[in-house]
């Protein structure tokens, strides 16, 4: 049986991976849309109008995702502060006893 050290993953590295994945997703969506529009049987004016509409839609979706991510980060931070305060309340008396004893 193998033994090894298991370390908790760093939340900042997970956040980085999610950010990278979202970036590549958006790049892929944009490239696919451009190629699709280039081969679509529409006039230039119609294509530009459709591209503008798609861009606005994508920007709105990205703004929504950014807002959701910000809300989640704020909630996580608040919960972390609460947990730290609870930990301090429970461990504080123990540390005082250890220092005195």
Return the closest-CA partner of residue 37 out of 25, 26, 46. 46
Helix and strand element counts for the chain (H, E): 2, 0
Question: pTM for the full model?
Answer: 0.44
Residues 10-36 pLDDT 10s: 555 556 677 788 888 888 888 887 787
pLDDT band of residue 81 (cuts 50, 70, 90) is very high
Taking CA atoms, 63 is separated from 31, 46, 74, in Å, by 20, 26, 16
Cβ contact 37:47 at 8 Å: yes
- Please compute the mean of the pLDDT values over residues 45-62 and round it to a whole number: 86
């Amino acid at each position: 049986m193998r033994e090894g050290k298991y370390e908790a993953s760093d939340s900042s590295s997970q956040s980085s991976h999610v950010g990278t994945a979202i970036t590549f997703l958006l790049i892929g969506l944009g490239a696919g849309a451009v190629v699709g529009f280039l081969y679509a049987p529409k006039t230039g004016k119609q294509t530009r109008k459709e591209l503008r509409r798609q861009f606005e839609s994508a920007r709105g979706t990205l703004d929504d995702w950014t807002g959701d991510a910000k809300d989640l980060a704020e909630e996580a931070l608040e919960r972390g502060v609460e947990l730290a305060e609870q930990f301090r309340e429970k461990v504080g008396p123990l540390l005082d006893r250890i220092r005195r004893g």
